[in-house]
Structure 1
Amino acid sequence: MIKLSKVKKIRISSNLFIILVMIFTTRISDGISTVVIPAILEKHQGIVTIIGSIIGLQSLIGILIFLPQATFIKKVGEKFSIRLGLFLNLLVYGFYMFAQPGLVAVGKFAEGFGDRLLNSTTSKLIYDETDNTNNRGRVRALMDAVSNISVIVGPIIAGLLIGYSFQLPLGIALFIMGITFVISKKIMLDQVDEIVEKTENKSMFSKYYKVHIEKYFKNKFVVALTIPSIMLSGLGVFYSLLLSLYLLKYKGFSYLNIATLWSVISAISVLVQIPSGYLADKNRNFAFLLSAVLFVVGFYGLINIGDNVILNYIFILITYSASLIYTTSMSALFGDVTTVENRLSESETYRMFRALGEGIITIIISRLFDINIVVCLGLITVLVSLGALVTYIISKKHMQQVELEATLSQNIS
């Protein structure tokens, strides 16, 4: 186990550097779509329920995919998996280029498969390459800071070009995704680094599900962390889709306001990200408590203030800062509680159960968005703040176990 009291300098391997570059380029494309996609959907009544249901359905389908995906990654290796995920996202932006709600829905459905494969593979790579370094939180913070720097660029491009056509900024996003696909060739992971269990005589269920589920349930901390991760899963659809639509429909924001908002969020997030990494490594429990308080303050303000642009910016920044602080500490905690030999099985089973809850929550809050926006935002507030508190309790228990094991080890020696 890693002692949180010792702090070392951040060390970045060549693979992590390439991942950093890829994050920078892909997030530019994401920043463009964050502004353009809500603009395409804005004038279509009831489309949020439809898109939200599609995203939720995609998450539910993911339940059947996560564990076979773990076996797939083990067999083909991280490099091939990352490149396949990027290729799927290239196809997604191809659908977006048509700027039609129906094809956007198809793109959103397909996007989940590419993102899922990318997130699983890159997360495993980051965890593997930060084992025994005690700077996992700061490495994750650096990754997210680079991500937020690049997201500044995407909304600016979209805000400047969306007045000409939706296709123009989306075409640039597609081109940048193509560059990212080329960059991924530089990843130095040509060989599979895990031994795949011999499964010739096993049933399909045993081969792709049972072996991973058994490893998952042996790790009580990974099982426990599944609960708050489900509670906070609604933030994904909120930031990627609902927030921009909420500001357009209910707050009277213009496209330029939305583009400016995401650029400002990204710029401020860079300032928040690195300190959150140090906080994740030094005082993780406080980070979870702080994020819970900020979630309540930010969402309460967003719900109750009027259409003042500056005040809306401030409260959105508070909620986003809370999510950054929470995500950084959660990532570091998850890396600490997973075991090296079973990490892929534990993490993919964790994501499978998380997808079940995420699918249900996404469908519910998307439907509530079209019915009662206040109830929708209120539900998100309750879920994310309580989820952060539950994570605090789990983190505290884990730290107590680390200290107990360290004491026992000293006594034995």
Structure 2
Amino acid sequence: MTVLHDRPETRRAGRLLAAAQLAGSLGDGAFLTCSVLFFTRIAGLTPAQVGFGLTLGWAAGSVAGVPLGRLADRHGTRGSAVLLALATGASILAFLFVRSPLLFVLAASLYGSCQTGLAAVRQALLADLADPERRTRIRAHLQSAGNAGLAIGAGLGGLALSADTASAYLTVFVLDAAMFVATAALLRALPALPRTSSPRTGPPKPAVLRDRPYALVTLLNAILLLRMPLLSVAIPLWIVERTAAPGWTVSALFVLNTLVVVLLQVRVAGRLTTLGSAARMVRRSGVLLLASCVAFASSALGTSPSVAFGVLVVGALVQVVGEMLQSAGSWEIGFALAPADKQGEYQGFFGSGISVARAVGPLLLSTVVVGWGLPGWLLLGAVFLAAGWAMGPAVRWAAATRPATR
């Protein structure tokens, strides 16, 4: 296997991976900023239809990750990543022809499946290219590049929102598709990799579906990933409906989160040395996510806009530290517990937690947090704490069933 060491070709491959992450995230940032308004104002869908379609789309993605990852194991991760990047671009363009709920569900399912499959195969591609000691740190660099791309893309999407015309939204969709074509080109320039398994071998059912310890680790990670719709859906609704903070606080917290991840994610990941340290990092993330929930809940107790803003900033800072710990720890766990010849399949399963969080998180969190108020925040925080603490025993169980883990 070709692995990344500290050589010129290593640095080139790392730059290509980071550039591919930046390109795709830039397009996604623009798309996510204004896609809902395109679907409601231009495509003629209702907000409920958009929400339902996106939920089904990400649900389809959570199912598609394993078979797409398995195909990548058999036919090569680099080529599979290139094809999935191109397919993602095509799925974005398909949205432009949507004018009915049924077509929207079909397009959203294609989009969710391609996005989930691409994320899984890129993880497997990194596992194929990098030695185990460098994977998590390289993944942290990619996360920082991705967040920078999202921030830039969100700015471009904001320009389209300001124009609020069909042509402006069309430009964003075409830009997003073009960014995934660029992603495919960058991934194609990576070193060629051998297949990790033969197309004619392997059990009839994916091995990961019979790996109960890995399934438990994946479930706990999926619970912790509810922090994603917490930041993008629940907190904005909470700020607007339940606090005295100004509306622009939503944007300020998003920018704060992005900047902290860009600046510090690599440093946080650099603290990992073993699988045990990764589990401890996830456990600490659960504590911090609980603390952030308490802070967010407290932001609604007063009537002063400045006090509410200050409390929300404190909560956001605690939350982003918990986010970085959870991200770094989970990357190490997901990589280290997966068999070397089945990284695509296992990463597809492990990454399905993102799709599950995106599918069920918005409705669940908006009901529990915004609907229930303080009790909902405390319940959510307790769930984060329990999932973080349970990760240690789950990882030890999984590690005991592997031939060797570090």
Question: What TM-score, normalized to structure 1?
Answer: 0.75
1:184/1:41 CA distance change after superposition, 3 Å: closer
The residue type equivalent to 2:200 in the other structure is K
Q: Please say if 1:125 is aligned against 2:125.
A: yes
Q: 8 Å contact 2:33–2:154 — kept in the other structure?
A: yes
- In structure 1, runs of 5+ residues without a counterpart are 1-7, 407-413
Q: 2:290 aligns with which of 288, 291, 296?
A: 296
The residue type equivalent to 2:298 in the other structure is N
1:278/1:62 CA distance change after superposition, 3 Å: same
Q: How does 1:52-201 map to 2 (within 5 A)?
A: 53-62=52-61, 64-94=63-93, 108-132=108-132, 134-165=133-164, 168=168, 171-172=171-172, 174-186=174-186, 187=188, 188=190, 193-198=195-200
Q: How does 1:148-297 map to 2 (within 5 A)?
A: 148-165=147-164, 168=168, 171-172=171-172, 174-186=174-186, 187=188, 188=190, 193-198=195-200, 207=204, 210=205, 212-213=206-207, 217=210, 221-251=213-243, 257-281=249-273, 283-297=277-291
Classify the secondary structure of the residue corresponding to 1:338: coil
Q: 8 Å contact 2:290–2:381 — kept in the other structure?
A: yes
Q: 8 Å contact 1:285–1:392 — kept in the other structure?
A: yes
The residue type equivalent to 1:196 in the other structure is S
Identity %: 10
The equivalent residue for 2:384 is 384
The equivalent residue for 2:23 is 25
Distance 2:242 2:33 in 1: 16
Q: 8 Å contact 2:123–2:347 — kept in the other structure?
A: no
Classify the secondary structure of the residue corresponding to 1:163: helix
The residue type equivalent to 1:232 in the other structure is L
What is the CA deviation profile of residues 219-248 of structure 1, one whole-angstrom value per residue up to 9, with x for unaligned ones?
A: x64233123123224234334444444444
Distance 1:290 1:140 in 2: 20
1:89/1:398 CA distance change after superposition, 3 Å: closer
Pairwise CA distance, 1:384:
2.5
Pairwise CA distance, 1:21:
0.4
Q: Please say if 1:316 is aligned against 2:308.
A: no
Pairwise CA distance, 1:143:
1.2
Pairwise CA distance, 1:321:
2.6
Q: 8 Å contact 1:31–1:151 — kept in the other structure?
A: yes
1:323/1:41 CA distance change after superposition, 3 Å: farther
1:356/1:330 CA distance change after superposition, 3 Å: closer
Pairwise CA distance, 1:123:
0.5
The residue type equivalent to 1:264 in the other structure is L
Deviates more, 1:14-23 or 1:30-39: 30-39
Pairwise CA distance, 1:139:
1.3
Q: 8 Å contact 1:92–1:110 — kept in the other structure?
A: yes
Distance 2:233 2:321 in 1: 18
Pairwise CA distance, 1:367:
6.6
The residue type equivalent to 1:136 in the other structure is R
Pairwise CA distance, 1:196:
2.6
RMSD (Å) for aligned C-alpha atoms:
4.2
- In structure 2, runs of 5+ residues without a counterpart are none
Deviates more, 1:53-62 or 1:123-132: 53-62
1:386/1:94 CA distance change after superposition, 3 Å: same
Distance 1:129 1:287 in 2: 25
Classify the secondary structure of the residue corresponding to 2:272: helix
Classify the secondary structure of the residue corresponding to 1:135: helix
Distance 2:108 2:144 in 1: 25
The equivalent residue for 1:36 is 34
The equivalent residue for 1:410 is none
The equivalent residue for 1:341 is 341
Pairwise CA distance, 1:189:
5.5
